[in-house]
């Protein structure tokens, strides 16, 4: 009887999810309520978790709760720490959820709400969660080894090298593009710039407190820090209202770019306890609070979605970034659907802390579902504002003009009515001078969040506070990615340099620290700078590059997973990882080809460079712009080269994998599975970790 009731309940959930999806996909009425997005997402995630992840656990991986995990075998209280599954879920989620699931869907909203929403839900269920879950499982069975180590052992040495290169490439491009998002959010905004600048002394204060006065008392220090940051958000308004102070904090794109590079260098070279770690604590608390507040706000306010399901820009002529739905929607939304970077977390800290193998399903698959839900919330926030406003905020000046009147004429001409006064009064009500041409997704998401929050608490009166809270929240955790990523990049460069000259690999050697920090900051700083000076807005070139590199890493992870599953003899179910891998290879190769060779100068790097070269040859470029144009041509050719290198890595990896799989299937080579031997757990069945020692 109980089983029957359960079955009926699950059928009801599935039917409800299908009905909500059908409503989202087929509704062509004037307005669609955002509740449908929440219902569709939650029901699909529940069904995917209940059925698909259970199938993977049982048939594909055969998770074994009697097997001791690395956390139990090596429990040292430092790297290997047995952790309660809910706590580890929180850890893992905080690590995988960065700005990607917020910014990607916001940018992809230019196609309309439908393609991005469907990709977020289906991509997560069938690709992203599968990757995170299986890589976590593989790492648990190998004592918490990293993706690179597993690629080297299970695929080949070349596979491991490609994984290492892919991680470095993704780091450089990721840091450049997220820094650009921050620059575009802070440009000419003294309020936002002051608030973010204040987080640096606040973080240093916390760092000193945690290092010298109350070592390790993270909770109390974080409460103090969060209170100070919230005060800085309010104080930002006073700064913006005081002309002399506002002048100091009103910075242009190039100045902000160099400030971020200086910050990244300092965070990488200074002791980790002084700046990087305390900022991460602040960011984690504010991130968790803001994401849950956004979800709660959407549930309470239930805003109507004003963006159509499909816009005219599905033809590839989008102002935010150029390119058709296929492949660019799938490249633009990486985090939230599938992100290769997650495989580094799934083969990093999490496998060393997991209590039981069975928890891998909840943590690996479940946390990615939650991140996908965050992506759906961001899509709702972006689509809840009038489309005209969305395009005015996210389009570069070269396309819509730099005045409210010009933007209004252009955007209204596209069929998305926008009065010039609307942008002026919106900017005024959020405490900004202008909201035009803020490509990058952060400002439009902040406007969407502020409108949702102010409908719940404070009304119009608090709109400006909420807007700057949202900007601070986005910029704060983007900076956390920036400084943590720069530091990791520094270690990778020191390791690579150490192969040539050994002393360079010593992580405590100051000249090595300074040189490697300079190299990594110089690398991502160059991409940032070219994005800032790009007349097309930077995001148009850099976000697809980031998407391609991220999906490349996902392809690496799925190749490793597929190879391990083959060695485990799970050929019957190999399609679980093989199909998402094939899909990723198709979209990354198509996107790479179009970004390099498309004849449309807004898509193809080479055709844009050629168009500019033709203009120079025809004497159409004024003498004072000649040097800038030459640099632009060089940047476009450089981007084409980087894209080609990424595509080449994918091709080499695929050929390498096919060769390995052929040998495995034809038994030409003896295959070895590098799992650690089975050791039975000493912990009782009901042991959950909560009573571990300190109860």
Binding residue (CB under 8 A) for another protein from 232, 325, 334, 581: 334
Angle at 687 between CA 682 and CA 690, to 5 degrees: 125
What is the DSSP annotation of 642-694?
A: HHHHHHHHHHHHHHHHHHHHHHHHTT-S-----PPPP-B--S-TT--STTSS-
Is 436 or 587 the residue whose CB approaches another protein more closely?
A: 587
Is 416 or 546 the residue whose CB approaches another protein more closely?
A: 546
Binding residue (CB under 8 A) for another protein from 44, 167, 475, 557: 167
Using the rule CB under 8 A, is 87 a contact of another protein? yes
Q: For residues 177-216, which are near another protein according to CB under 8 A?
A: 178, 210-212, 215-216
Using the rule CB under 8 A, is 509 a contact of another protein? no
Is 211 or 567 the residue whose CB approaches another protein more closely?
A: 211
Q: Are 264 and 482 in contact (CB under 8 A)?
A: yes
Write out the two tokens for 16: 């409800």
Binding residue (CB under 8 A) for another protein from 16, 18, 218, 462: 218
Burial of 104 (0-12, 13-18, 19+ CB in 10 A): buried
Query: Does the N-terminal peptide bond of residue 487 adopt cis geometry, omega within 30 degrees of 0?
Result: no
Is 128 or 309 the residue whose CB approaches another protein more closely?
A: 128
Q: For residues 540-579, which are near another protein according to CB under 8 A?
A: 546, 550
Stretch that binds another protein, among 11-19, 79-87, 182-190, 465-473 (CB under 8 A): 79-87
Per-residue x/- mask for another protein, residues 270 to 299, rule CB under 8 A? -xxx--xx--xx--xx--------------
At its nearest, how many Å lie between another protein and the CB of residue 160?
Answer: 16
Binding residue (CB under 8 A) for another protein from 49, 86, 209, 326: 86
Q: Are 570 and 60 in contact (CB under 8 A)?
A: yes
- 489 phi, psi to nearest 5 deg: -60, -40
Beta strands at 304-305 and 32-33: parallel, antiparallel or unpaired: antiparallel
Is 29 or 216 the residue whose CB approaches another protein more closely?
A: 216
Stretch that binds another protein, among 7-15, 42-50, 335-343, 514-522 (CB under 8 A): 335-343
CB atoms within 10 A of CB 473: 25
At its nearest, how many Å lie between another protein and the CB of residue 107?
Answer: 13
Is 148 or 443 the residue whose CB approaches another protein more closely?
A: 148
CB atoms within 10 A of CB 583: 18
Write out the two tokens for 264: 């990244």
Is 95 or 442 the residue whose CB approaches another protein more closely?
A: 95
Q: Are 406 and 161 in contact (CB under 8 A)?
A: no
Using the rule CB under 8 A, is 349 a contact of another protein? yes
Is 228 or 430 the residue whose CB approaches another protein more closely?
A: 228
At its nearest, how many Å lie between another protein and the CB of residue 214?
Answer: 9
Is 273 or 661 the residue whose CB approaches another protein more closely?
A: 273
Burial of 2 (0-12, 13-18, 19+ CB in 10 A): exposed
Write out the two tokens for 439: 């490509």
Using the rule CB under 8 A, is 595 a contact of another protein? no
C-alpha to C-alpha distance for 492 and 496, rounded to whole angstroms: 6
At its nearest, how many Å lie between another protein and the CB of residue 495?
Answer: 10
DSSP class of 309: S
Is 264 or 309 the residue whose CB approaches another protein more closely?
A: 264
Q: For residues 434-493, which are near another protein according to CB under 8 A?
A: 480-481, 484-485, 487-488, 491
Using the rule CB under 8 A, is 166 a contact of another protein? no
Is 95 or 383 the residue whose CB approaches another protein more closely?
A: 95
At its nearest, how many Å lie between another protein and the CB of residue 99?
Answer: 7
Using the rule CB under 8 A, is 97 a contact of another protein? yes
Is 81 or 298 the residue whose CB approaches another protein more closely?
A: 81
Using the rule CB under 8 A, is 692 a contact of another protein? yes
- In Å, what is the CA distance from 558 to each residue of 505, 549, 606, 647? 30, 14, 31, 16
CB atoms within 10 A of CB 126: 17
Longest CA span, the chain: 83
List CB contacts of 68: < 8 A, sequence separation 6 or more.
679, 680, 681, 682
Residue entry with tokens 């909770």: 219
Give the number of residues in contact with another protein, rule: CB under 8 A.
65
Q: Cα dihedral sign for 350, 497, 543, 437?
A: positive
Is 154 or 483 the residue whose CB approaches another protein more closely?
A: 483
C-alpha to C-alpha distance for 128 and 121, rounded to whole angstroms: 10
At its nearest, how many Å lie between another protein and the CB of residue 218?
Answer: 5
At its nearest, how many Å lie between another protein and the CB of residue 435?
Answer: 25
Distance, CA of 608 to chain centre? 28
> Among candidates 266, 275, 143, 258, which has minimal Cα distance to 201?
275
Binding residue (CB under 8 A) for another protein from 219, 500, 510, 618: 219
C-alpha to C-alpha distance for 430 and 452, rounded to whole angstroms: 13
Residues of this chain that bind another protein (CB under 8 A): 75-79, 81, 83-84, 86-87, 90-91, 94-100, 146, 167, 171, 174, 178, 210-212, 215-219, 222, 271-273, 276-277, 280-281, 284-285, 334-335, 339, 341-342, 344-345, 348-349, 480-481, 484-485, 487-488, 491, 507, 546, 550, 690, 692-694
């Amino acid at each position: 009887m109980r089983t029957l009731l359960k079955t009926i309940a699950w059928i009801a959930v599935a039917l409800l999810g299908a009905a909500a999806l059908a409503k989202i996909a087929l509704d062509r009425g004037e307005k669609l309520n955002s509740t449908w997005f929440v219902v569709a997402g939650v029901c699909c995630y529940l069904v995917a978790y209940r059925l698909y992840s259970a199938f993977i656990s049982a048939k594909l991986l055969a998770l074994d709760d009697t097997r001791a995990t690395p956390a139990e075998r090596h429990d040292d209280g430092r790297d290997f720490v047995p952790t309660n599954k809910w706590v580890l879920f929180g850890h893992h989620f905080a690590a995988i959820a960065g700005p990607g699931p917020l910014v990607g869907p916001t940018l992809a909203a230019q196609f309309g709400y439908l393609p991005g929403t469907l990709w977020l839900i289906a991509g997560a269920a069938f690709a992203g969660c599968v990757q995170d879950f299986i890589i976590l499982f593989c790492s648990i069975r190998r004592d918490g080894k990293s993706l690179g180590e597993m690629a080297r052992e299970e695929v080949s040495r070349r596979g491991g090298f490609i994984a290492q290169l892919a991680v470095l490439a993704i780091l450089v491009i990721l840091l450049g593009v997220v820094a650009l998002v921050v620059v575009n959010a802070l440009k000419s905004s003294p309020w936002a710039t002051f608030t973010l600048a204040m987080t640096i002394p606040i973080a240093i204060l916390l760092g000193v407190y945690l290092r010298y006065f109350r070592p390790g008392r993270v909770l109390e220090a974080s409460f103090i820090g969060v209170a100070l940051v919230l005060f800085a958000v309010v104080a930002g308004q006073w700064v913006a209202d005081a002309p002399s102070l506002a002048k100091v904090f009103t910075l242009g794109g190039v100045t902000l770019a160099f400030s971020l590079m200086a910050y990244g260098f300092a965070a990488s070279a200074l002791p980790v306890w002084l700046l990087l770690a305390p900022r991460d604590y602040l960011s984690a608390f504010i991130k968790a609070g803001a994401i849950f507040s956004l979800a709660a706000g959407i549930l309470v306010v239930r805003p109507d979605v004003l963006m159509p399901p499909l816009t005219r820009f599905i033809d590839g002529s989008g102002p935010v970034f150029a390119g058709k739905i296929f492949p660019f929607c799938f490249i633009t939304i990486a985090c939230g659907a599938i992100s290769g970077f997650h495989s580094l977390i799934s083969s990093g800290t999490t496998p060393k802390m997991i209590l039981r193998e069975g928890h891998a399903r909840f943590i690996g698959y479940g946390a990615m579902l939650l991140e996908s839900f965050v992506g759906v919330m961001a899509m709702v926030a972006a689509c809840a504002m009038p489309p005209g406003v969305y395009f005015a905020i996210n389009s570069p000046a070269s396309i819509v003009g730099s005045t409210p009147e010009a933007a209004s004429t252009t955007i209204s001409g596209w069929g998305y009515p926008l009065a010039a006064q609307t942008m002026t009064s919106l900017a005024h009500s959020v405490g900004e001078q202008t909201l035009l041409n803020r490509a990058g997704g952060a400002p439009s998401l902040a406007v969407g969040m502020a409108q949702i929050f102010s409908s719940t608490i404070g009304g119009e009166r608090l709109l400006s506070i909420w807007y700057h809270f949202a900007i601070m929240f986005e910029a704060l955790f983007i900076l956390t990615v920036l400084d943590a990523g720069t530091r990791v990049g520094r270690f990778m460069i020191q390791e690579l340099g150490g192969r040539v000259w050994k002393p360079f690999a010593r992580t405590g050697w100051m000249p090595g620290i300074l040189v490697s920090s300079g190299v990594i900051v110089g690398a991502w700083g160059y991409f940032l700078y070219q994005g800032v000076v790009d007349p097309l807005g930077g995001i148009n070139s850099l976000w697809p590059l980031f998407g391609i590199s991220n999906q490349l890493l996902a392809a690496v992870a799925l190749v490793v997973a597929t190879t391990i599953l083959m060695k485990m003899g799970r050929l019957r179910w190999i399609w679980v990882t093989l199909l998402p891998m094939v899909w990723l290879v198709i979209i990354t190769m198509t996107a790479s080809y179009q970004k390099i060779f498309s004849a449309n100068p807004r898509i193809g790097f080479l055709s844009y460079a050629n168009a500019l070269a033709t203009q120079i040859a025809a004497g159409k470029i004024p003498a004072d712009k000649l040097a800038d144009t030459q640099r632009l041509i060089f940047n476009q050719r450089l981007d084409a080269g980087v894209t080609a290198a990424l595509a080449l890595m994918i091709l080499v990896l695929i050929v390498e994998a096919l060769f390995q799989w052929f040998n495995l299937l034809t038994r030409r080579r003896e295959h070895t599975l590098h799992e650690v031997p089975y050791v039975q757990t000493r912990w009782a069945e009901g042991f959950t970790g909560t009573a571990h020692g300190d109860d």
